Copies of this chain bind each other. A is one copy, B any other.
């Protein structure tokens, strides 16, 4: 990013933190150029950028001053310090509830393991066991087992993408792929662009890596706000983006191909890499799979992270990153963190992909999930208060439910937990503490009487908050 942006960003930080107060005079272009050791034109560009955004004003013959009316930043992305990630305490209470509550299926980040071909997978694990018996080539490899990387490259090829296996690194689940990529491409204090709302583990990772971040709004219909992103890229020296382009977590929204292409081109223009979290890609309800942003990546700036945890084997902890030109750096980082993914799990999944009929299973899984989604939409219609609304996702196993005014999702989370029902309250999905009217529900579990009654209880609890209690949900602004 350019020096003038850096300076503008630094000055904005001083204004935000009240170091530079309204009406204060900024150093003259000449002074600043001397004291920062940069050209006057660079200082001028920075001042001009700040003036354009109403942060400072120029007074003829007297210089630049901090504006007394700072612009309301409204929906525009705001720089946050991960250290200040607020709702993490709520996140811990959420994790606690997951442990304490008898009924966690609604809150779980996982689909029901019973949906997965565990028996068939066990056969593949047996074969893996036999193949490991021979004692050959038993040094752990940072890149991962070649047979598995070959299978993954083959699936890319079928999806119309050519990904060399030397760019594929097997990881301990997609979470390692994402966090290892993030750590490799940043240093502490760097700024990362994430979605708002976003997967809470991303917020924790940013905090752990001492990164700052900008939250880019995600609309439940349209997905990521590219204008806000473009604005953020102008305003901040963003080092890398971490986005979910399909079945976004938690909103479930998917970017259109056009928007994915526009996203890739926008980032390429700024030379900013994209860490693409695409762990739900196999769970599409349409006949055609969605295409990842990586598909439109001409500049090798997209690190595409995938996983088998959501669609095959959660406990095997096998994911990967197709890291493009960053692959050697990621492999070196892998070499000094976890060295290599567990071989039995890698070999078993490679065997399953080759002989197990993954695609046949996935077709069944998608139908199962669609049925379960319909069940939950029906239950919300039956039990939840009027004014409840949502946008039906085209895949995955989460619903992002907007509750009526007056319903506080954190309060609902607390009282539901008291009733032994765990749900995910909206604020854990953003560092801003927003989304207090939203909850995330998981419909990826076989529909049992227990779930039905949990939904009934939850609806009743939600209605208590609501003036128009007793009345059932009527979905506005949804495409159910």
Contact = CB atoms under 8 A, between A and B. Distances in A.
A132 B128 contact: no
Interface in A211-244: none
Where chain A touches its partner, the secondary structure class is helix
Contact of A340 (B114, B121, B317, B335): B317
Contacts of A337: 175-176, 179, 205, 208
26 contacts: A95-B335, A114-B135, A118-B132, A118-B134, A119-B133, A122-B130, A125-B125, A125-B129, A125-B132, A126-B129, A132-B315, A140-B317, A172-B339, A172-B342, A175-B336, A175-B338, A183-B208, A188-B210, A201-B335, A205-B336, A315-B340, A316-B343, A317-B342, A338-B338, A342-B342, A342-B344
Contacts of A122: 129-130, 132-133
A369 to B, nearest CB: 17
Interface string A119-152: 1011101101110111100111000000000000
Q: Which of A110, A116, A175, A187 has the most CB of B within 10 A?
A: A175
Interface in A83-128: 92, 95, 108, 110, 113-114, 116, 118-119, 121-123, 125-126, 128
A318 interface: yes
A197 interface: no
B338 A315 contact: no
A424 interface: no
Given A140-B173, A315-B344, A342-B344, 13 more contacts: A113-B138, A113-B139, A118-B132, A119-B133, A125-B344, A138-B315, A173-B338, A176-B337, A201-B336, A205-B336, A315-B343, A316-B344, A317-B339
